[in-house]
Structure 1
Amino acid sequence: MGVKQSVKMAKCVVWDLDDTLWKGTLSSGDEVVVDPRILETVKTLDERGILQSIASKNNHDDAMRKLEEFGLAEYFLHPQINWNSKSSSLTELQAKLNIGLDTFIFIDDQEFERDEVAFVHPDVETIDAADRFLLTDLPRLSPVHVTEDARRRRLMYREGEQRDRSELAFQGPHDEFLRSLDMVLDISPAGGDDLLRLEELTHRTSQLNSTGIHYSYDELEKLIDDPGHDLWVCELTDRYGSYGKVGMALVEKSGDQWTIALLLMSCRTVSKGVGTVLLQFLVKRAAERGARLFARFRRTDRNRQMLLTYQLANFHVVSRDGVDHLFENDLEIVRDYPDHVRVNVDA
């Protein structure tokens, strides 16, 4: 059950400005203009949940004023407008957005700039600006379904920026800042309305993903009604807003033997100290019901952090076959939830 995705979906499009996003060279004094088709492309990608940013060699303040004039500034996260190399701008964006370089698409009219990025970041797909009007037709930028969380993705990143600024300004220990966020994690059985988002999570989440296996909408729909499986979903909110549905767990149940077939959490939860809460919930639930708790783990090139999560949660290897591991938790240690997040369970 679960299938690999043949086309890895892109998560962020990074635009050059001169003769790419707009026509003309700003620093040369040109009266730059934006083609209405570009405006439509930017808005369409945003509605699909595709993040967008800028990597441009320009004067920052002048370029930002133009983006504001065109009504486009709000669509671009962490714009890199400076005189540095385009590859260094991509490095900076990867760190700020915390997504894989292989999920970026970079578009520029200059072959040199595309080659420079491709040389430093071979995982980044580069596109000639001559093809910019075809972006919305690319399979990597055309999700089959667009969830409500996807439509809000840019807004959620903006809320994240507010949190980050508040944290930098906060005077005191990190734990106190986390408590000041008033975080609430709601854990509940998945319903029909959750399935599109859960399908999306299995495709988009790679670092905190226990197997890297993708599940389709139809597969998840069957699991909801299967008494031999529990499918859990969790949503995180705080005083700045909602992070959306950030985690899921699929548990196979055979008598008193439970096996976590898939556990994943959005990378956006890592710095908020809630990445392990869903796993703690499963440990608590198994201990309360006298079940033995196992977990499958498949090593990928991205999910070492999930391996550490299992190990720190007292899971021990009971069998191994290549990259596939089977863990068991003896349930002798059942930890409380962290005190900086309130956990609501609707079971």
Structure 2
Amino acid sequence: MSTSTVKCLVWDLDNTLWRGTLLEDGEVHLTDEIRDVIAALDSRGILQAVASKNDHDHAWARLEELGVAEFFVAARICWGAKSVSVREIADELGFAHSAIAFVDDRPAELAEVAHHLPDVRCYDVEVLPRLLGLPEFSPEHVTEDARRRRSMYQAGVRRKSAQTEHAGPDADFLRTLDMRMEIRRAEPEDLTRVAELTVRTSQMNATGVHYSDADLRALLTDPDHEVLVATMSDKFGPHGAIGVVLLSTSERRWHIKLLATSCRVVSYGAGAAILGWLSDQGHRADVHLVADFRATDRNRIMEIAYRFSGFDDEPCPCAAGLPDAPGVRRLHLRPGPRPAPDTLRLTAPELAARAVRP
């Protein structure tokens, strides 16, 4: 069984999450030990969901009475096959089956899920007393964003619902969100989340390169580099850290060695806002921008973002001296002034002083 970190644990209810069978016993109980497991998983950034054969309204009302309903980001409480419920939960969350775990007290249910979803990690209820000690439920680092992952996901559900109900152009909806973006120089405590972004983001990683915490830490003290982190929030709550820029600076050129943004904020224009800000800062500093782009099987959307921001393949003497990198194309931009989008409020540092004047 894989020991990579589980992203979501799906709970059965009867004789698993709670003691007793709801429709037979009428009254069921949640032990302090299980309550502690639920809270601990939540604090570690592991989402939780429910897949139970029960009457939905009755079971959900009991979860609310027990004070734990808020911990579950998805629920399939119905009379269908558990494998169907678990598959639907994985699809709703956008997780690969290998990132999902399922716990049940009945061997037949575990076998049914394992048969139809072989990549889902299945656990008998007897594992619960030692679940928190298993490596797949013990992430090496727990960032602030991880601790808020459940609340951020739930805010995302409310945000998506509001967008579905909104009548009119997308730009008008974005203006209703009161979005705020902050771009700032990374601090040491940011680096684990920044490193995580470079690993977790594949569609919006311009090079596919993954930087470790140690790699980024070394660059923080390098006078010729900027490590920048972008965060976003809106009226529904925080998006958390959504972008990272690794910038190498020289007299007449700023070299974007890495740009990665979270896929979940693509539709809110986060990547375009970051590139627009870099263009505006480069214009003020009177430097050209050169961006590394290495095509992967998933990051075509990042190339489109660069193109829409004005980057092209035009060769320029400003790129002289950059080391060759296998598979990397160097995109070029002569920056111009760029106001921040009117769909968000942007707070960012002044980088123009990084330009070295003759």
TM-score w.r.t. structure 2 length? 0.82
Q: Is the partner of 1:278 in helix, strand or coil?
A: helix
1:226-265 superposed matches below 5 A: 226-253=222-249, 256-265=252-261
Out of 125, 133, 139, the residue aligned to residue 137 of structure 1 is 133
Aligned to 1:197: 193
Aligned residues of 2:184 and 2:349 also touching (Cα < 8 A) = yes
Q: Is the partner of 1:46 in helix, strand or coil?
A: helix
Q: Is the partner of 1:276 in helix, strand or coil?
A: helix
The count of aligned residue pairs is: 339
Residue 219 of structure 1 and its aligned partner are, at CA, apart by 2.4
Alpha-carbon distance between aligned partners in 1 of 2:81 and 2:334, rounded to the nearest angstrom: 52
Rate the CA distance shift 1:274–1:294 in 2: closer, same or farther, 3 A: closer
Aligned to 2:160: 164
Q: Is the partner of 1:77 in helix, strand or coil?
A: strand
Residue 63 of structure 1 and its aligned partner are, at CA, apart by 0.9
268-277 or 234-243, which moves further after superposition? Answer: 268-277
Residue 75 of structure 1 and its aligned partner are, at CA, apart by 0.5
For the pair 1:49 / 2:45, whether they are aligned, the reply is yes
Alpha-carbon distance between aligned partners in 1 of 2:339 and 2:153, rounded to the nearest angstrom: 29
Alpha-carbon distance between aligned partners in 1 of 2:188 and 2:308, rounded to the nearest angstrom: 33
Out of 329, 333, 343, the residue aligned to residue 332 of structure 2 is 329
Q: Deviations over 1:189-230 (max 9, x none)?
A: 112332232233334434423344443333222111112321
240-249 or 78-87, which moves further after superposition? Answer: 78-87
1:272-283 superposed matches below 5 A: 272-283=268-279
TM-score w.r.t. structure 1 length? 0.84
Alpha-carbon distance between aligned partners in 2 of 1:8 and 1:255, rounded to the nearest angstrom: 43
User: Which residue identity lines up with residue 332 of structure 2 in the other structure?
Assistant: N
Residue 79 of structure 1 and its aligned partner are, at CA, apart by 1.5
Q: Is the partner of 1:45 in helix, strand or coil?
A: helix
Rate the CA distance shift 1:297–1:125 in 2: closer, same or farther, 3 A: farther
For the pair 1:152 / 2:155, whether they are aligned, the reply is no
Q: Is the partner of 2:73 in helix, strand or coil?
A: coil
For the pair 1:339 / 2:342, whether they are aligned, the reply is yes
For the pair 1:219 / 2:222, whether they are aligned, the reply is no
Rate the CA distance shift 1:320–1:335 in 2: closer, same or farther, 3 A: farther
Out of 18, 22, 25, the residue aligned to residue 22 of structure 1 is 18
For the pair 1:107 / 2:106, whether they are aligned, the reply is no
Alpha-carbon distance between aligned partners in 2 of 1:86 and 1:141, rounded to the nearest angstrom: 22
Consecutive unaligned residues of structure 2, counting only runs of 5 or more, are 316-323, 351-358
Rate the CA distance shift 1:68–1:174 in 2: closer, same or farther, 3 A: same
After superposition, the CA RMSD in angstroms is 2.9
User: Which residue identity lines up with residue 296 of structure 1 in the other structure?
Assistant: F
User: Which residue identity lines up with residue 185 of structure 2 in the other structure?
Assistant: P
219-228 or 88-97, which moves further after superposition? Answer: 88-97
Residue 181 of structure 1 and its aligned partner are, at CA, apart by 0.7
Alpha-carbon distance between aligned partners in 1 of 2:61 and 2:99, rounded to the nearest angstrom: 29
Percent identical pairs in the alignment equals 40
30-39 or 235-244, which moves further after superposition? Answer: 30-39
For the pair 1:81 / 2:77, whether they are aligned, the reply is yes
68-77 or 264-273, which moves further after superposition? Answer: 264-273
Consecutive unaligned residues of structure 1, counting only runs of 5 or more, are 1-5
Aligned residues of 2:283 and 2:336 also touching (Cα < 8 A) = no
Q: Deviations over 1:18-49 (max 9, x none)?
A: 23212333233464333322111110011112
Alpha-carbon distance between aligned partners in 2 of 1:292 and 1:150, rounded to the nearest angstrom: 33
Rate the CA distance shift 1:292–1:151 in 2: closer, same or farther, 3 A: closer
Residue 320 of structure 1 and its aligned partner are, at CA, apart by 8.7
Rate the CA distance shift 1:96–1:178 in 2: closer, same or farther, 3 A: farther
Aligned to 1:291: 288
Alpha-carbon distance between aligned partners in 1 of 2:117 and 2:307, rounded to the nearest angstrom: 32
**Larger Rg belongs to:** 2
Aligned to 2:320: none
Aligned residues of 2:207 and 2:292 also touching (Cα < 8 A) = no
Rate the CA distance shift 1:315–1:243 in 2: closer, same or farther, 3 A: same
Alpha-carbon distance between aligned partners in 1 of 2:209 and 2:136, rounded to the nearest angstrom: 18
Aligned residues of 2:277 and 2:338 also touching (Cα < 8 A) = no
Alpha-carbon distance between aligned partners in 2 of 1:87 and 1:336, rounded to the nearest angstrom: 50
Q: Deviations over 1:62-90 (max 9, x none)?
A: 11122122221111012221223333333
Residue 337 of structure 1 and its aligned partner are, at CA, apart by 4.4
